[in-house]
Amino acid sequence: MEIKRFKEINTFFETTGFEKRTDIPAFFVFRFEELNIDTALKMPPYQKDFYQVALMINGENASASIDVQSTDKLGNTLYFLSPDHIFSWQRNSKMTGFNVFFKAEFLDFFSGNFKSEFSLFDLSNKNFIKLDSKELQNILIDFEKLYKEYNTPNSYRHQILQSSLLSLLFKCKSIDEEKGSTKNLSKKEETINRFRNLVTNSFIKNKKVSDYADLLNVSSNYLNQTVKSVTGKTAKEVISNQIIQEAKRYLKYSTDDISEISYALGYEEPTHFIRFFKNQTQITPNEYRKNLM
């Protein structure tokens, strides 16, 4: 179960059956309404070498997953995805809104630190914002402007799109901050929230406490002590529980063999996965699957 990775925007469109192509390799914006009848209604987990901002309107029957973190009944939602995310989705054919794809180099004129400025793309954060009607109308103006600029021939089209995209990202950041998603949280609570999101989003790639400590810019000891004080579990136990939870889901709902499941969970050798699973549950993956029958 190898996770497919798309390097180019147009290559991604070819795979999904979308007939349009971008003439700017590092940028594209389109309306969901432009998706033709042959465009895929769902995609299995994949990664891509570019960022994505999606405004989904009327997405009540649509769903999206970042690794194993799923969101159903999307409604009116903003999504933020980076090349680090493993993403899958099922769209509603009646859903409207916009999709914006861009590579990091498209904003190379920005003098600030992109990753720290726009943490909405960070694996350690919640990567979606539910919008009320007022917020929707507010941000819709920016998406429509970006779409119009892309489709308007102009000598300075590239530069206008760059500044319009940056303006859109700051508007999204403003909406998120106004919602107060991290307001009134202590440093300890914020660390715990970010750690939990990181584990959910990247446990396939990162399995060591030190991996998460590095991502959070704290020491492994501090992370362990903080997680233990709030959850009653060590950071390692939280990571292990996430892996076991997903392993059990594969064993219950898929027909993949143990080797395929181990690779899907980020283990290079199936024996390492089997040993880990038995240490955590006292039975092998095969025995667990048989007990479900």
- What are the domain boundaries of the chain? 4-179, 187-292
Give the pLDDT confidence score for residue 68 in this predicted structure. Answer: 47
Give the pLDDT confidence score for residue 230 in this predicted structure. Answer: 83
- H or E segment at 27? strand 27-31
Low-confidence ranges of the chain (pLDDT < 70): 1-2, 60-63, 65-74, 124, 181-185
Residues in the chain, overall count = 293
Give the pLDDT confidence score for residue 72 in this predicted structure. Answer: 60
Is the CATH code 2.60.120.280 the one for domain 4-179? yes
Give the pLDDT confidence score for residue 60 in this predicted structure. Answer: 67
Give the pLDDT confidence score for residue 93 in this predicted structure. Answer: 74
Alpha helices in 7-113 (DSSP H): 9-16
Nearest to 270 by CA among 280, 257, 283: 257
Give the pLDDT confidence score for residue 2 in this predicted structure. Answer: 56
Give the pLDDT confidence score for residue 54 in this predicted structure. Answer: 94
Dist. CA 70–CA 65, nearest whole Å: 4
Would you give the distance in Å from CA 63 to the centre of its chain?
Answer: 13
Selecting from 1.10.10.60, 1.25.40.10, 3.40.50.1100, 3.50.50.60, what CATH number does the domain 187-292 have? 1.10.10.60
Neighbouring-strand partners of residue 101: 28, 52
Neighbours of 55 (CB within 10 A): 26
